[in-house]
Structure 1
């Protein structure tokens, strides 16, 4: 008789590549905005799988969608198309500026496709000299070698040999720094409406509109990386809708699948035409399972009442974080939008975000960091007011633990 495998945190160290350092707990069950570990301890989830679990854990609409699709069709290949992919693409097109959709499996893959498309578009229309991509310091666009190079954080891109060339980095929210770099050689400028990994830093309206104008002047594409900000997280379906600025290419993932891996690149018919048959592809991209779940996410999230709930939840988060800060004076500001918020540590606690993150876990709260100075919150879009209040009570205990009160 085979002895059942004992699954413990120590097993990770035995069998997994050590590029992650996961917490000691192993969650085994989730429902809504609550998670339980192997010992049955409950946690309130303010992390959302890093802005992924847009409808919490095991949402009935998503469970139903995957169950139904699992009994019909799992995978074909892109030699053929499938109904869930076409329905999802149509709904994304109808809800955004876009006319064409490409499906991938992650945000990194969506960004990889976007950067390749921008380069191919520029090559076809203007020639090989127009190949530069301008990104921003502190940005994050994925972990493939191309996307990590475009991202503006050397800690993620150094140490792997020669990097892809023709990638420049300006300063976020500094239009003059973009003007200093952009030229006839620029094929695209890529930015996040809110820098996520860089510290939950929203783009100003003036900056966003200025970058759009510079792209127009220099025949460059504007790529918006909405992997973290998309699918309702900021209180609109996509964050670009807050700015009165339309991108040429948009990437989306994370919340789109509600926990099931999927990514997408959205663009116009004219730009999309430069990815001719055979120029790019994905074995799993657009598979029926992922698209069926994402369609259920989109149908559920893209409703006025859900968008209103995201904004009311934001106000409740801000009010309760303000109340905590008035007691303990640990934050210099709360920034972000919707259900993507960052509590910025003041000078006294600068560099200690991980301590707040770890203390939160000890108090039964799942939170995040965004760099060393920001505690990040990216919960379910439909988290309830009672769950927010309960989670904030636990976060207050974590704050007290860190500062020694």
Structure 2
């Protein structure tokens, strides 16, 4: 593809002109069902009227004024997020990687001000994805993402997921925090074991090690709870949010409990565009919608139906699909065949998905997908699996 855009993505030759709800429309007049939602970003679908109205109203007042001044829309969203969570303070930024970077800095700064300057290391887990900055690729420890960028930044110890013995062996006087993506998205929709997470929380509290949760992909209602960690009955000290928080507009947030937030005094961190009035207007609107208990109960109901439908397909075609993974509307189809074979078949049948590690296809629909739409999508997925099964039978 001849373009002036940097060649950092393997893009399809597909150009969308507009969208509505779960649908996207291309410049060659084709209609697609978007089960990727911009990789868990378009939380309320495309061209959502409430989000459009919120953005339009704000655009006529203020776009950007700098964090040198009070931004009322920031105050509003921060209050909502703290009232809905463990946190007492919020730092706003523009992306998930930025939110995780802030989390790492806050954890180290917290330990530094307590006089524990040796506490710099962050424990992370295999299969995690925390972003694309130098700090977050070091945290994720994916060899493909690290190649060619020099020595990884120091201070990260990557260990096996759900292995308490490995965790205990990695802990020492230099451990500042434990960073966990409770449902690993890029890694393959890997759900951490509840007992493991509970033990991690207990150990962290006992040793004054901070627990950081990366809920960039799993947060903001995707699991049927506002935050995925509610399903595990744990509470972090720091949490990174982004993606769905802006419903398609770039927004990131680092939520901190009071003792951590107190370590981040003026000059320790910043973001030129973080928390700008436009982003905050959309973030406020998204939060108002998805934090409604009725909305969340509806997400849970629809997720149960989707899991049921997909599990039935998997049981009928075990040579194609080995199992269905995930929680809520953060779903993984683990394939027996190469995952790209099924995702390409789905694409040919008008469904957009996104591949992940562990030979998984991610299903991340807008949370306001309807029950009839779920049933329609399930039938198309079944048809796609049947097509592959028929092709395999002829070989």
TM-score normalised by L of structure 2: 0.96
Q: Distance in 2 between matches of 1:142 and 1:251?
A: 11
For the 8 Å contact 1:138–1:195, the answer to whether it is kept is yes
The DSSP-based 3-state class of the residue aligned with 1:30 is strand
For the 8 Å contact 1:105–1:261, the answer to whether it is kept is yes
Gaps of 5+ in 2: none
Greater mean alpha carbon deviation, residues 298-307 or residues 282-291: 298-307
Equivalent in the alignment of 2:330: 340
Q: CA RMSD in A?
A: 1.3
1:68 to 34, 57, 61: 57
After TM superposition, list the pairs within 5 Å mapping 1:218-233 onto structure 2.
Answer: 218-233=207-222
Q: Distance in 2 between matches of 1:386 and 1:129?
A: 56
Answer yes or no: is 1:287 the counterpart of 2:276.
yes
After TM superposition, list the pairs within 5 Å mapping 1:264-303 onto structure 2.
Answer: 264-303=253-292
The DSSP-based 3-state class of the residue aligned with 2:188 is coil
1:378 to 359, 364, 369: 364
Equivalent in the alignment of 2:6: 17
CA offset at residue 14 of structure 1? Answer: 2.1
Answer yes or no: is 1:179 the counterpart of 2:168.
yes
CA offset at residue 201 of structure 1? Answer: 0.9
Equivalent in the alignment of 1:154: 143
Residues 81-125 of structure 1 deviation map (CA, whole Å, 9 limit, x = unaligned): 211111000000111010000000000000000001111111121
Equivalent in the alignment of 1:4: none
Equivalent in the alignment of 1:3: none
CA offset at residue 281 of structure 1? Answer: 0.3
Q: Distance in 1 between matches of 2:44 and 2:326?
A: 19
After TM superposition, list the pairs within 5 Å mapping 1:47-196 onto structure 2.
Answer: 47-196=36-185
After TM superposition, list the pairs within 5 Å mapping 1:314-325 onto structure 2.
Answer: 314-325=303-314
1:353 to 333, 339, 342: 339
TM-score normalised by L of structure 1: 0.94
For the 8 Å contact 2:251–2:274, the answer to whether it is kept is yes
Residues 36-75 of structure 1 deviation map (CA, whole Å, 9 limit, x = unaligned): 1111111111111111111111111101100000001000
Answer yes or no: is 1:208 the counterpart of 2:197.
yes
1:217 to 195, 206, 209: 206
Answer yes or no: is 1:235 the counterpart of 2:224.
yes
CA offset at residue 372 of structure 1? Answer: 5.2
Q: Distance in 2 between matches of 1:268 and 1:315?
A: 33
Equivalent in the alignment of 2:385: 399
Q: Distance in 1 between matches of 2:358 and 2:386?
A: 19
For the 8 Å contact 1:44–1:387, the answer to whether it is kept is no
Q: Distance in 2 between matches of 1:57 and 1:146?
A: 32
Q: Distance in 1 between matches of 2:60 and 2:109?
A: 39
For the 8 Å contact 1:30–1:58, the answer to whether it is kept is yes
Equivalent in the alignment of 2:30: 41
Greater mean alpha carbon deviation, residues 369-378 or residues 183-192: 369-378
Residues 298-350 of structure 1 deviation map (CA, whole Å, 9 limit, x = unaligned): 0011112211111111122112212322332222221111110101113xx2x
Q: How many residue pairs get matched?
A: 390
Q: Distance in 2 between matches of 1:322 and 1:137?
A: 26
Equivalent in the alignment of 1:7: none
The DSSP-based 3-state class of the residue aligned with 1:14 is coil
For the 8 Å contact 2:314–2:324, the answer to whether it is kept is no
CA offset at residue 358 of structure 1? Answer: 1.7
The DSSP-based 3-state class of the residue aligned with 2:233 is coil
